Amino acid sequence: MSPIHEVVSLAQLLTQPQRHPMFHPWLRRRRIPLPDLKALTVFMADGAYRPDFLDPSPMSSEPTFEEGMDALLAAPADQTYAELLDAARGRGADIGRRLLDDPDRARSEAADTLRHLWTSVVEPEWPSMRQALRAEMLDRALQVNREGLRAVLPRLHPSAACEGDTITVEKTIDIDVDCPEGLILVPSLFITDRIQCTTSHHWTPAIYYPAPGRYLWAAPPTPRSLDRLLGMTRSKILAALATPLQTTVVARLVSVTPPTASEHLAILRDAGLIDTSRTGRTATHELTIAGRTLLDAASPRS
């Protein structure tokens, strides 16, 4: 997974929210001020090249945001300038001067904006996002172990295919990349309709693909039978926990205060329908086998 990629992809989402309606309720709750993000969203124009140095390939399965920032700021000067040159191409003289007159400043300002977006928006949600990404990584690892990468890769997105030793991703730019040190597959929660690729020779090539996680952004509909059995709020919470979530996210999804959400979660936990794990002061909740069985049994059959 890649925390810094999630922040960069969120910035991209904010420039084209109409393409991603599933995030609209979440974006309304977060009230993100777009003007404060100009140093980053300057790279997000439709059809423009987004520099790879903004989104360095992760060096481990669960890197921290700070490790991603260190890699971004350590990108070689020649890479930074070449990628800014590509980002400025066809964008007009003002954009060209802004990006190329002082490449270090352009990169530093983008990094500062990334940090602001991380601390104010993504970091509070990260425990639940991390749980969803872990579940996706485990599920894909099991599939690859059982069926092989060639069978699993096309399921990541229709634009991906595998023939022999070559992986192809349909993009508007034609680039051939050797992968002597392998290829990194990274699930992403903020991309929904495409695959993204990092092809800089400074890092191991990476493919970022859409990961399930929709219940992080909007609570799913609940079966009416659960409303009658558990009450409306607790049935909504049970349905939302199809993805592991932290208390504050649960509260926002079902429109109650965190203390009220904690009370409902305690009742569901006492009934054996959910489990709760703690990391520091953060509590993350997920369905038990009994809770998942109850939710599946109450859901209408198609």
Whether the predicted pLDDT of 187 surpasses 50:
yes
Mean pLDDT for 196-212 is 86
- Convert the pLDDT of each residue in 59-104 to its tens digit: 899 999 999 999 999 999 999 999 999 888 888 888 888 889 999 9
Question: What is the rounded CA–CA span in Å between residue 266 and residue 283?
Answer: 12
Mean pLDDT for 129-138 is 85
DSSP secondary structure code for residue 27 in this structure: H
Window from 46-50, 186-190, 219-223 with minimum mean pLDDT: 219-223
- Convert the pLDDT of each residue in 251-271 to its tens digit: 888 889 999 999 999 999 999
Give kind and range of the element (H or E) at residue 187.
Answer: strand 184-188
Token readout for 16 is 């084209």
Burial grade of 176 (CB within 10 A; 0-12, 13-18, 19 or more): exposed
Q: DSSP readout, 121-184?
A: IIGGGHHHHHHHHHHHHHHHHHHHHHH-HHHHHHHH-TTEEEETTEEEE--SS------TT--E
Domain 219-298, architecture per CATH: Orthogonal Bundle (1.10)
Any idea where the domains of the chain sit in the sequence?
Answer: 3-210, 219-298
User: Mean pLDDT over all residues of the chain?
Assistant: 87
Model confidence at 9, pLDDT cuts 50, 70, 90, reads: very high
